[in-house]
Copies of this chain bind each other. A is one copy, B any other.
Amino acid sequence: VITLTTDFGYRDPFVGIMKGVILSINPAARIVDLSHDIAPQDITAAAWVLRHSIDYFPKETIHIAVVDPGVGSSRRALLIQYQDHYLLGPDNGVLSLALQEKPPVCSVNLSNQAYHRQPTSATFHGRDIFAPVAAYLSLGVPALNFGERVEEFVRLPFPKPRKSAGTIEGEIIYIDRFGNLFTNIHEADLAGLPRNRLTVLVGAISIGGLAGHYDRASEGDFVALINSSGVLEIAAYKDNAQRRTQAAVGEKVQVKIP
């Protein structure tokens, strides 16, 4: 299985072209779209998409992420083997949030042009480098054939919530199409706390207690819950919390502990 995450959108044929290149090399590849509607050049959003998705795929899945404003410059192209899956993308941090506590098994700079499309364009490495490398990798070519091992690569800052007496302060890290606000406050950060008696604050909104599911509230009410990605989420039942609060990624969220 090969997954694709890009900011290419759905109007242009760029994603389809990458699939054509993959299928030309490995006709048996299974290709799954994660998202192509990442805002143009929003490396961080793509990185969160990847982090929240890779655990649900079969072992040995190859995940390509192409959000790449520096394409064609000296930024490197990377293959990172992490636990039992592979990550392919530019060395601009887009792969880095998918790496959690453990170190990667192996990181490779994709310098071996024998596995690139020729001629290699300066503006579409998704087609000319990442798609063919993914296809050859899916055929069993060993990771180190694609280039030399690297030790360091660009890592995005992972915002940790700050804990003080009576308060956990986090921030919004992702907003989904329903307007649900994902925070960086993980389920584990709330372990042992009395969920019913917590107060969640974002902007002028105050929500009393964590819910088990959206439907606990009346229509339009705000609700806070641990969502399916395991993080604290603020939602509005049958409504759009982002539109209601005008909150943006990076905005502070506080949890008050009684």
Please report A residues at the B interface, Cβ cutoff 8 Å.
1, 3, 5, 8-17, 19-21, 23-24, 27, 30, 32-38, 40-41, 49, 52-53, 56-58, 61, 69-73, 75, 121-124, 127-128, 176-178, 212-216, 225, 227-228, 233, 237-238, 240
In the assembled complex, which residues on chain B have CB atoms less than 8 Å from the CB atom of A72? 212-215
Chain A interface mostly helix, strand, loop or mixed?
A: loop
Report the minimal beta-carbon distance from A89 to chain B, rounded to whole angstroms. 15
Distance in Å: Cβ of A184 to nearest Cβ of chain B: 17
Is the CB–CB distance between B57 and A24 below 8 Å? yes
Interface-centre pick from A30, A36, A127 (highest chain B CB count, 10 A):
A30
Which residue in chain B gives the minimum CB-CB distance to A179? Answer: B40
Point out which of A8, A57, A177, A237 has the most chain B C-beta atoms below 10 A from its C-beta.
A177
* Contact (Cβ within 8 A) B238 A123: no
- B213, A41: Cβ atoms under 8 Å? no
A69-B71 Cα distance, complex, nearest whole Å:
38
Residue A69 contacts which of B11, B70, B123, B214 (CB distance < 8 angstroms)? B214
How near does chain B come to A194, taking the closest CB pair, in angstroms? 19
Which residues of chain B have C-beta atoms less than 8 A from A9's C-beta? 37, 177
Chain B positions within 8 Å of A38 at CB level: 11
> In the complex where A3-B16, A122-B225 touch, is A177 in contact with B8 (Cβ < 8 A)?
yes
Within the complex, the shortest CB–CB distance from A30 to chain B, in Å, comes to 7
In the assembly, what is the distance between CA of A85 and CA of B53, in Å? 30
In the complex where A8-B177, A9-B177, A123-B213 touch, is A30 in contact with B20 (Cβ < 8 A)? no
Q: Return the contact of A178 from the options B40, B70, B216 (Cβ within 8 A).
A: B40
Could you list some 24 contacts between A and B, CB below 8 A? A1-B23, A1-B27, A3-B16, A3-B20, A9-B37, A10-B10, A10-B36, A10-B37, A12-B35, A16-B33, A20-B32, A20-B56, A21-B56, A23-B32, A24-B57, A40-B240, A69-B214, A69-B237, A70-B215, A72-B212, A73-B213, A123-B214, A123-B227, A128-B228
